[in-house]
Amino acid sequence: MANKAYQFRLYPTKEQEQRLAKTFGCVRFVYNKMLEERIQMFEKFKDDQESLKQQTFPTPAKYKKEFPWLKEVDSLALANAQLNLQKAFQHFFSGRAGFPKFKNRKAKQSYTTNVVNGNIKLSDGYIKLPKLKWIKLKQHREIPAHHIIKACTITKTKTGKYYISILTEYEHQPAPKEVQTVVGLDFSMSTLYVDSEGKRANYPRFYRKALETLAKEQRILSRRKKGSNRWHKQRLKVAKLHEKIANQRKDFLHKESHKLAKRYDCVVIEDLNMKGMSQALHFGQRVHDNGWGMFITFLRYKLEEQGKKLIKIDKWFPSSKTCSCCGRVKESLSLSERTFRCECGFESDRDVNAAINIKHEGMKRLAIV
């Protein structure tokens, strides 16, 4: 299954505009209410993490009794406000974002609704939305018949224009591509990988600089008194840096995986193995910080989209100790030996030798499959 979103301009009537304004307002209201309640919960249980974990998240349904006018708007929009707040908290707890903020009137005017029992329909320049009936839209492109509409997000811009983003899902099975070009990748902790042609994927300089800054700011944070004003301020700084670094890393991983998926029909990798783990220990960094897992996810879908292949080879395959020229396997090879030398006279960069072995192993698999 694949997803694709289509964006169109909406032209609501005056009456529909009022209803939309009401929905934006109710979504914001419910979001803020739930946030307020969450904050109270945190305060109540701040010294009792166990009880806090057991508290359930407030639901919009609860507010409908107290504020009956909430019933006038799309209930799915309110349910999505709850999901958005939950997501905001998850990001906060994982350190990817700051503490969720209250939405004021200047916040983005937008809400999302889902398709349930044919409540959303598209026909003849109009779209039918819950509680709004048919709204006119400018559909400048067709949504293919095999795409199924899953959700819609309605947004009002600062200049008063309305847009709808229609999220669709569709079956996508490209024809398998005949394999002509193969590359092997050797995981590397310090860069991202070394390939069988001797190329290294190097993180950009600004990224490495940002990592250094993060380490420095984290040291400052660890020296501050936990819970103090200065600590909170520093924590926010660190959270923002984390977010920036995560985005830079993601961009880089997208670019690298795109290049490989464009150039090769088949990419062979090693399952993240003991070698990766020992390298991680050596560099004092966690393997996931390096982004390898995310990189493989991107690479896999970019290849599969084109009917190309990603082959993972066994983690016990001795890619580093094997000579890529004659096939002899060395008894031992320490991490500090950067050049691979074999009795047969073959000499190569250690990582390139490993990447060539990975490529060969993958090609053997291709022949079998």
Nearer to Zn ion, 164 or 356 (CB): 356
The tokens for 359 are: 């490529």
Contact 77, 111 (CB under 8 A): yes
Active site residue 289: no
Instruction: Give the DSSP letter string of 243-264.
Output: HHHHHHHHHHHHHHHHHHHHH-
Q: Report the helix count and the strand count for the chain, using DSSP H and E.
A: 9, 13
Nearer to Zn ion, 245 or 325 (CB): 325
Contact 169, 3 (CB under 8 A): yes
Residues binding Zn ion: what is the number (CB under 5 A)? 7
Active site residue 270: yes
Q: Which residue has the tokens 């250690």?
A: 350
Q: Are strands 309-313 and 266-270 parallel, antiparallel or unpaired?
A: parallel
Site for Zn ion in 289-328 (CB under 5 A): 323, 325-326, 328
39 binds Zn ion per the rule CB under 5 A: no
Nearer to Zn ion, 127 or 323 (CB): 323
- Of 342, 354, 356, 358, the one binding Zn ion (CB under 5 A) is 342
Specify the stretch interacting with Zn ion by CB under 5 A; choose among 187-195, 275-283, 285-293, 346-354: 346-354
Q: Which of 55, 284, 61 is nearest to 190 (CA)?
A: 284
Nearer to Zn ion, 62 or 328 (CB): 328
Catalytic position from the list 195, 256, 265, 270? 270
Specify the stretch interacting with Zn ion by CB under 5 A; choose among 65-73, 107-115, 334-342, 351-359: 334-342
The tokens for 278 are: 């020992």
Rounded to 10 deg, the angle between the 205-223 and 229-263 helix axes is: 160
Nearest approach, Cβ of 357 to Zn ion (angstroms)? 11
329 binds Zn ion per the rule CB under 5 A: no
Nearer to Zn ion, 61 or 326 (CB): 326
Round to whole Å and give the CA distance between 104 and 28: 8
Active site residue 243: no
Nearer to Zn ion, 109 or 348 (CB): 348
Site for Zn ion in 62-81 (CB under 5 A): none
Round to whole Å and give the CA distance between 33 and 99: 15
Contact 184, 195 (CB under 8 A): yes
Q: Which residue has the tokens 């993972």?
A: 312
Cα angle 33, 34, 37 (rounded to 5 degrees) comes to 90
Catalytic position from the list 74, 256, 265, 351? 351
Catalytic position from the list 186, 195, 256, 361? 186
344 binds Zn ion per the rule CB under 5 A: yes
Binding site for Zn ion (CB under 5 A): 323, 325-326, 328, 342, 344, 346
Q: Which residues are catalytic?
A: 186, 270, 351
